[in-house]
Structure formats: structure tokens, C-alpha cells
A and B are shown apart, each in its own frame.
Chain A
Amino acid sequence: MLRKSIVWIVFAIVLLVLPQIFTSIFSISIFTQMTIAIVFALSYNMLLGQGGMLSFGHAVYFGLGGFLAVHALMMIENEEMMFSVTLIPLVGGLFGLIAALFIGSFSTHKAGTVFAMISLGMGELIAASSLILVSFFGGEAGVSGDRTYGPPFFGYDFAQGIEVYYLAAAWMFVATLCMYLFTQTPAGRMANAVRDNPERAEFIGYSARRVRFISFAMAGFFAGIAGGLFAVNYEILTEENLNAASSGRVLLMAYIGGLGFFIGPIVGAIVLTLINSLLSNYTTLWMLYLGILFVLTVMFLPRGLTGFLMMHRVPWHLGKLRLLAVPYTLTSMPGAVFLLGLVAMIEMSHASGSEFVYLGIALNPDGYGSWAFLLAVTGVAFYVLRLTLPRLRDAWSEANTITRKPDHAAKESGGQS
């Protein structure tokens, strides 16, 4: 209990201090994006990781919540309503909840393929109607508002990015806490049970459908809150925010972060936001790299980045973590060269003109010399990488054996939630 409270207190402190350390407008904008992505990704994991429902249309609830939030902003601006902008995310949440109650009433009858297909269909349907119902969705241009109207909140009018960050961080903290606590309630525990074995759940008194419906409604609510935060931050929503691409992105976040852990989607949201905002400054191909990262995760880290970190709990408990330091270093050096070489070739094939500077090296996309050079470097790196693997493998099994006690093993694999 105490240990858990400490985690939350540290979390709150990090959120408070972060923009005081990285003070640029750019970094604060990234932090705000992260908080929004975290709420959205956690809400998605209520479906997939905790409830076993693979959704391809979760952006619908984010988007609908966001659109209504923008309308609420407009109403505040037009003085048709008077309430603080700090409550806008709740407006988004309630609309996300209503939409989820309606769609969930039929989509949660079955899990598996049926659920996935309905989520895809509903996503397409709503994205398409958003372009048709211009009065609510604003067509291609979307709808926009202004967050600085309405009664100020203790003197703040949210004209500045840092104010928006703290508002978003506060909402994110509360939403994250609520979503965590939900996993610890009877409905949340049964969501896991139904994910594992819907049939058996019915024989201990629970309707699998009802259990899924509750998780689905909750997920819609929190996605709507994320949408409301997005509305406050960007003051504009377009069809892009509820279409299949957005639904796909939140799936990637949760999956890459790790579905089996509560913090998995948080990790995924942070990593993907960084990739999105940092990498896109350097290359137009960042989506490609994101796709590669996803495929590699699915193939090699089925429990996500968090799962990869958690794998080290056994060596850590055994006090053998340092056995891995040298092998990890030896493997990651050729690994890094290999990846950089691959990236260089991808970028060079995409580059236009005859000048291409990569990591300070001038290359010529039209000349055989540059290609031969990169192929050679990458090939050698790959060969060296393979040579280092047996040593890493041995170190790994050594770090996991001998004094292995059952309770350590249990802690390691009991992390599913």
C-alpha cells in the first residue's frame, strides 16, 4: 500500500517538475501531447490488454469527445454557457461515454473477430459521416474554438502552453489513477477473467457480455477525456482525429508499450510521442520507422517494451544484472551500426539530388561508391552482431539461473494485470 502510494507521489512530482527542467515551448508542447496520448493509450488498453477486445475504432470516442469539447468551447465563447475551461475534458469524457454506451450495447456481444470487425465498421461509418454532417464536424476543415474565454481559473486563462500543460497533466494524473483503481475493482478483475476465458466466467455468475460492456463504456469515457484535452490543447478537431489512422496509432502505442502491464501504454505513449515529434524533424520517413518498430515488437517483444524491461526482474532479484552489462554493450555497438547503416540506405534511396549528408558523411545517392560503402558497413556490422549473440545468450541464461527461487519466478511472471 505504502509502496504504491510512493509510486503515485513520485509520478505527481515528475509531472510538476518536468516543465521546470525542460522549459522551452517545444518541450512543453511535447509534454502536453504525451499526457493526452497517455490517457488515450491507457483507455485503449482497458479494451485490448485488460478486456481482450481488439478495437480498430477507438479514435471514434476520442474524436467525438473532442468535437463536442470544441463545441463547448464555442458556446463558452458565445456566452451560451458559463463554465471553466478546466471542465472541458469532462464534457469530452461524457460524450465519449454516451457514444460508447450506444455502440457498446451491440459491439460487445462477442469478443474476437466479430468485435474487431464491428469496431472497424463503426470507425469507418463515423469517420465518413463526420465529413457529411458539416454542422457538427465542420467538414474537411473541422471545427475550432478558443480556450481563453470563460471564467478564469484562479487567475489563469490558459493562453500559455505551460498552463495548458498543467491542466492536461492534472487531468491525466486523475484519469490514470482512476483507470488503475478500476483494474482493482470486481468489474476490473472480471474484465481480466473474461479476457482469459469468457466461458468459464459465465459459470461463476458473470455475463461475459456485461463485463465487456462495462470496460467498453469506461474506455469510451477516458478516450473522450483525452479528446477533450486535445480540444483544449489544439483548439481544433478534424476528421483525422477520429479516423482509422488515429485508431491504428493508439493500438501501436499500447502494443509497443506492452499490453500486459498497466504502465505499458504509458511507456508506449511516451515513446511514440517522442518518435512522432522528434523524428519527424529529421526525416519524412518517420512513419516507416514506426512501422518497423511495431513489426519488430510484435516479432521479438510480444510483451512490449515494458515486458522487455520486466524480463530483467529475475536477474535483478538474483543480483546478477551486472553479468549482462558487457554482453549488452558488445551486442549493441554492432547493432547500432547495423541499424544506422540500414537507415542510411533507406534515407539515401529516398533522397533527391546528388548530395546526401548523413551523420556528417557526404554520400552520393547516384554513385555506386556510396552504396557499396554502406552495404559493406552494414554487412560487416550484421556479421559482427551475429558473432556477439551466443555470448549474450549465455550471459542471459546464466543471469537467470542457479539461485532462482520460486517466489522470484512468480513475481516475474505474475505481472499480468
Chain B
Amino acid sequence: MSLLQLQNVSKSFGETAIIRDVSLSIAQGEKHAIIGPNGAGKSTLFNLISGRYGVSSGNILFKGNPIHNLKPFEIARMGLARSFQVTNIFPLLSVFENIRCGLLWSMDYRYSFWNLVSRQKALNARTEAVLEEIGLHDRRNFPAGELAYAEQRALELGIAIASGAEMILLDEPVAGMSHSEAKNAVALIRKVTEGKTLVMVEHDMSIVFDVADRITVLVYGEVIASDVPAKIRGNPRVQEAYLGEVVTGDGVEATHA
């Protein structure tokens, strides 16, 4: 059964239709990549799913429940976490605090003002573990806003995965990273999303073909293909959309910025 379902979702900003009649279904445990040229509407799609924007028409179902009228925090509480293409962290809080805040709701602390966070062993241990995973352990006391770009990207990812949500949306998680940093990040993503459902926007085709079970190609707000990698590779409309560039499984010839 599908964990996330988009039914004829459209979104316009004023006159301009950005997402046009998108229907998409993502199964439990699937690793799904969304690709497409810049401005195709990939981030907008994430913003619709996660409740940042309301849909203009259509339905979005998560675990069979409509979520297109819910607020971001309500959707997050259902077990849908996301990261942002443009780094979106808590700049004055320490790196440690950033991650711990990402954990609070999922560990059921809610709005409590009777627990001292420093006394919560499980919470702090889990925070440490996430810091270790994302490789920011030695940066734990720095204000997040003072980190280097790649470190902020790692933190961005860390906040998203901290809660252990069932479904994780990652918007260009390795953009701007060096080759080796990206390699590490992909290994990390793979590790932390084990047994979870992942939807990832990514431009690097080698990563996409490496990670994804299924790929959706979005062009001008429309889904032109949504299939397993082998089928996507041979799809003529995809080849055309990528302006003649050769999309291969093992190469990075299609390097859309």
C-alpha cells in the first residue's frame, strides 16, 4: 500500500501554474528520487506535501489520511520529516541544541515545562548519536550559524533525520558539497533511511541511480515519467527533456545545475 499519495495536485502562484495535475504514489519503504530541471517545481512539490503551502486543487494522502489542509507541525507529528534546499536551521542555538530540538516532539516531550532537558538521558544520548552520525560531534557547542557551509548542510540533514520519522523528504541534500563530502552524505542518508521511506530531490544522476528504487521526472510542473530507474533511462520523453543529454546509470553526463 502506498504511504504517500498525490491525487491530481495543482498549485498556482497567482496566474502561473507551477504544479500541474501531479499524481504520484510512493510505497512504504521505497527510495524515491525526483529529478527535473531547475524551476520544474520539485521544491514546490515538497512544500505542498509538507504543508508549507496549501494546494490549489487535488488531494495529498499520508498513511491514507488527507494532509493537504494540515499545518506543517501537524504533518510533522504524523511522521513526515523534511530538509530544505536552502539551509534552514536555528542559527543562534548550538549544534547540539539544533539536533535536540529536532528530537523533542518525536520523543513525546511536547510543550512540557516540567522536564529539564539536561536530565533526559535517552534524549541526550540520542542527540549525541545523531551528532556522531552526521560527523558534527566536535562542533557540538558552536552556534549553528557559525558553521561552514558543508557543516550546515550536514546539520540540516541531521535535524530532518533526528526524529526517526517514517517518511523523509530531502531537498537536494548534497548540493554544494565536495565529491567526498557528498559520498559520505549519501552513505549516511542510506544508513539512516534504512527501513524508512525516502523521497529525495537530487541532480547528480549517479547518486540518483545509486539510491533510488523509483524515479519521478518533473518538467514544468508536470510528471512526465515515474518508474524504476531502468525504464527511466530508456524513456524518450526523459531524454528529450534533458535536452539530448545522455542519461546513463553509471555516468554523470546529465549534470543539470
The finding on whether chains A and B are genuine partners in a shared complex, rather than unrelated, reads yes
A224 to B161 Cα, complex, angstroms: 41
B132 at the interface (CB under 8 A from A): no
A411 to B143 Cα, complex, angstroms: 10
Q: Are A186 and B117 touching (Cβ within 8 A)?
A: yes
A214 at the interface (CB under 8 A from B): yes
> Given the interface contacts A205-B77, A210-B111, does A414 sit within 8 Å of B94 by beta carbon?
yes
Residues of B within 8 A of A193 (CB): 90, 93, 97, 101
For A204, give the chain B residue with the smallest CB separation: B102
> Given the interface contacts A197-B90, A200-B89, A204-B101, does A182 sit within 8 Å of B113 by beta carbon?
yes
> Which residues of chain A (246-283) have a CB below 8 Å from chain B?
260
B110 at the interface (CB under 8 A from A): yes
Q: What 0/1 readout, one digit per residue, does chain A (197-211) give for beta carbons within 8 Å of chain B? A: 101111111110011
Q: Are B72 and A203 touching (Cβ within 8 A)?
A: yes
Q: Are B113 and A218 touching (Cβ within 8 A)?
A: yes
Q: Are B91 and A204 touching (Cβ within 8 A)?
A: no
A21 to B215 Cα, complex, angstroms: 77
Tell me if A's interface is mostly helix, strand, loop or mixed.
helix
Of A185, A189, A206, A414, which is within 8 A of B141 by CB?
A: A414
Q: Are B81 and A203 touching (Cβ within 8 A)?
A: yes
Residues of B within 8 A of A188 (CB): 113
Q: What 0/1 readout, one digit per residue, does chain B (121-158) give for beta carbons within 8 Å of chain A? A: 00000000000000000100111001000000000000
B48 at the interface (CB under 8 A from A): no
A349 at the interface (CB under 8 A from B): no
B114 at the interface (CB under 8 A from A): yes
For B101, give the chain A residue with the smallest CB separation: A193
Q: Are B111 and A413 touching (Cβ within 8 A)?
A: no
A337 at the interface (CB under 8 A from B): no
Q: Which interface residue of A193, A203, A407, A416 has the most chain B CB atoms within 10 A?
A: A203
Q: Are B92 and A196 touching (Cβ within 8 A)?
A: yes
A304 to B93 Cα, complex, angstroms: 19
> Given the interface contacts A197-B89, A200-B159, does A185 sit within 8 Å of B115 by beta carbon?
yes
B175 at the interface (CB under 8 A from A): no
B100 at the interface (CB under 8 A from A): yes
B42 at the interface (CB under 8 A from A): no
Residues of B within 8 A of A207 (CB): 71, 73
> Which residues of chain B (57-113) have a CB below 8 Å from chain A?
71-73, 76-77, 81-82, 84, 88-94, 97, 100-102, 104-106, 109-113
Q: Are B100 and A205 touching (Cβ within 8 A)?
A: no
For B87, give the chain A residue with the smallest CB separation: A200
A184 at the interface (CB under 8 A from B): yes
> Given the interface contacts A196-B91, A210-B111, does A202 sit within 8 Å of B72 by beta carbon?
yes
A374 at the interface (CB under 8 A from B): no
Q: Are A211 and B88 touching (Cβ within 8 A)?
A: no
Of B81, B90, B114, which is within 8 A of A185 by CB?
A: B114
A187 at the interface (CB under 8 A from B): yes
A186 to B141 Cα, complex, angstroms: 18
B5 at the interface (CB under 8 A from A): no
Residues of B within 8 A of A7 (CB): none
Q: Are A204 and B88 touching (Cβ within 8 A)?
A: no
Q: Are A204 and B71 touching (Cβ within 8 A)?
A: no
A190 at the interface (CB under 8 A from B): yes
B118 at the interface (CB under 8 A from A): yes
> Given the interface contacts A205-B76, A211-B111, does A192 sit within 8 Å of B92 by beta carbon?
yes
A17 at the interface (CB under 8 A from B): no
Residues of B within 8 A of A211 (CB): 111
A131 to B159 Cα, complex, angstroms: 51
Q: Are A185 and B76 touching (Cβ within 8 A)?
A: no
Residues of B within 8 A of A413 (CB): 142-143, 146
Q: Are A187 and B90 touching (Cβ within 8 A)?
A: no
Q: Are A186 and B110 touching (Cβ within 8 A)?
A: yes
A192 to B143 Cα, complex, angstroms: 12
Q: Are B112 and A187 touching (Cβ within 8 A)?
A: yes
Smallest Cβ distance from B85 to chain A, in angstroms?
13
A299 at the interface (CB under 8 A from B): no
Smallest Cβ distance from B215 to chain A, in angstroms?
25
Q: Are B82 and A203 touching (Cβ within 8 A)?
A: yes
Q: Are A187 and B116 touching (Cβ within 8 A)?
A: no
A414 to B117 Cα, complex, angstroms: 17
Residues of A within 8 A of B159 (CB): 200, 204
For B116, give the chain A residue with the smallest CB separation: A184
Of A185, A200, A410, A411, which is within 8 A of B112 by CB?
A: A185
A195 to B162 Cα, complex, angstroms: 21
Q: Are A197 and B88 touching (Cβ within 8 A)?
A: yes
Of A195, A203, A214, A410, which is within 8 A of B142 by CB?
A: A410
A189 to B98 Cα, complex, angstroms: 10
A14 at the interface (CB under 8 A from B): no
Q: List 10 A-B contacts (CB under 8 A).
A: A184-B118, A192-B93, A196-B92, A200-B90, A205-B106, A207-B73, A260-B92, A410-B142, A411-B141, A414-B94
Instruction: Give 5 new A-B contacts, CB below 8 A, not counting A190-B111, A214-B111, A410-B142.
Output: A184-B117, A184-B118, A192-B93, A201-B90, A206-B104
A residues within 8 Å of B by Cβ? 181-182, 184-190, 192-193, 195-197, 199-207, 210-211, 214, 218, 260, 406-407, 410-411, 413-414, 416
B residues within 8 Å of A by Cβ? 50, 52, 71-73, 76-77, 81-82, 84, 88-94, 97, 100-102, 104-106, 109-118, 138, 141-143, 146, 159, 162-163
3 smallest beta-carbon distances between A and B, as pairs = A205-B105, A186-B109, A410-B141
